[in-house]
A and B are shown apart, each in its own frame.
Chain A
Amino acid sequence: MLKSQISRPAVSNIKEGELSLSRQVLVELVQAVFAKGALFRFRAKGFSMHPFIRDGDLVTLSPLSDISLRVGDVVAFIRPGKGNLIIHRVVRKIGDSFLIKGDNVPNDNEVIPKANILGYVTKVERNGKERRLGRGLERFLIVFLNRGKLLDKSLYHFTRFLHHVKKVSRAK
């Protein structure tokens, strides 16, 4: 490489949205961060977990380590055969695998081996505030209705009502 072709070396601070990361790079980054025992925070894209995780929400993932996954947990996994990173909810345990489904995707159940699951969601942030809806006790109701394909807007309002009741009783 000739000096005439060289630009000055530079390090730039950028926003994730300015990048176009391939599926493989994103998965590799998550794995590399987890390998160092750290959490991974990034912007969710898509609508498959709406309204509990919305497009553009900031999601923090924790590595699975020795944690036992439970029904209702929201997990990040590598979709078999496609390699992309997906965040969906555990609906049922089947042996060493898990039936996983997006809250907003009525007919998209996937059986995912535990080895494909990288981590689980421990924090969701929207407009600078943490959002807990869908990760408390109401997650069991979400799973129940997901299994029966009954999850729709009415459930969203009902779980919001439950969340409000919880908040009010905590404040007392």
Chain B
Amino acid sequence: MEVKADLDSIYAPSEDIVSREIEEELLIVPLVAGIGDMEDELFTLNETGKVIWGHLDGEKPLKEVVAKLSEEFEAPAGEIAADIMGFVEELLKRGMLVEITNI
């Protein structure tokens, strides 16, 4: 099933993951069938991914996240929006992120 990110939607980390910072990356351990599996189910977000993840806090729509990151990265929103949406879609597909609401 194809998952599409929506700039008007609000996203937040799933309850079914555990995450910890390790140096410049973020380690994510999904809880699959009631198990946090460090052997088969372990993911990292690179430094950029970690910054974006930090803004996906369930409080603001994705278009505001893009605007904030545009300031932070000193890049036009139009240039970074596609990468951010692709990244959010990847996280949604993997069940690490959930949509809170569509305003």
Interface residues in chain A, defined as those with a beta carbon under 8 Å from any beta carbon in chain B: 1-3, 6-16, 19, 21, 25, 28-29, 32-33, 36-43, 58, 60
Q: Is the CB of A36 within 8 A of B15?
A: yes
Q: With A33-B29, A38-B36, A42-B38 in contact, do A9 and B73 touch (Cβ < 8 Å)? A: no
Our pick among A6, A33, A36, A40 for the contact of B48 (Cβ within 8 Å) is: A6
Measured between alpha carbons, how far is A40 from B38 in the docked complex, in Å? Answer: 8
Interface residues in chain B, defined as those with a beta carbon under 8 Å from any beta carbon in chain A: 15-16, 18, 20, 22, 27-29, 31, 34-39, 42-49, 51-52, 72-75, 79-80, 83-84, 87, 90-91, 94, 96
Q: With A3-B74, A3-B75, A6-B48 in contact, do A11 and B38 touch (Cβ < 8 Å)? A: no
Q: Is the CB of A9 within 8 A of B48?
A: yes
- Give A7 Cβ to nearest chain B Cβ, in Å: 5
Q: How many A-B residue pairs have CB under 8 A?
A: 107
> Cβ of A29: which chain B residues have Cβ within 8 Å of it?
18, 20, 27, 29, 36, 38
- Give B21 Cβ to nearest chain A Cβ, in Å: 8
> Cβ of B22: which chain A residues have Cβ within 8 Å of it?
19, 21, 25
Measured between alpha carbons, how far is A19 from B35 in the docked complex, in Å? Answer: 19
Our pick among A2, A11, A36 for the contact of B94 (Cβ within 8 Å) is: A11
Chain A, interface SS category:
mixed
> Cβ of B74: which chain A residues have Cβ within 8 Å of it?
1-3
- Give A41 Cβ to nearest chain B Cβ, in Å: 5
Measured between alpha carbons, how far is A11 from B84 in the docked complex, in Å? Answer: 12
- Of all chain B residues, which has the CB nearest A22? B22
Q: Is the CB of A41 within 8 A of B46?
A: no
Please list 20 pairs of residues, one from A and one from B, whose beta carbons are closer than 8 Å in the complex, sorted by A's number: A1-B74, A2-B73, A2-B75, A3-B74, A8-B48, A10-B46, A11-B49, A11-B90, A13-B42, A16-B38, A21-B22, A25-B20, A25-B22, A29-B38, A33-B36, A36-B16, A36-B31, A37-B34, A43-B39, A58-B39
> Cβ of A60: which chain B residues have Cβ within 8 Å of it?
35
- Of all chain B residues, which has the CB nearest A28? B20
- Give B28 Cβ to nearest chain A Cβ, in Å: 8
- Of all chain B residues, which has the CB nearest A36? B31
Q: Is the CB of B80 within 8 A of A3?
A: yes
Q: Is the CB of A9 within 8 A of B52?
A: yes
Measured between alpha carbons, how far is A28 from B20 in the docked complex, in Å? Answer: 8
- Of all chain A residues, which has the CB nearest B76? A3
- Give B98 Cβ to nearest chain A Cβ, in Å: 15
Q: With A29-B18, A29-B20 in contact, do A15 and B46 touch (Cβ < 8 Å)? A: no
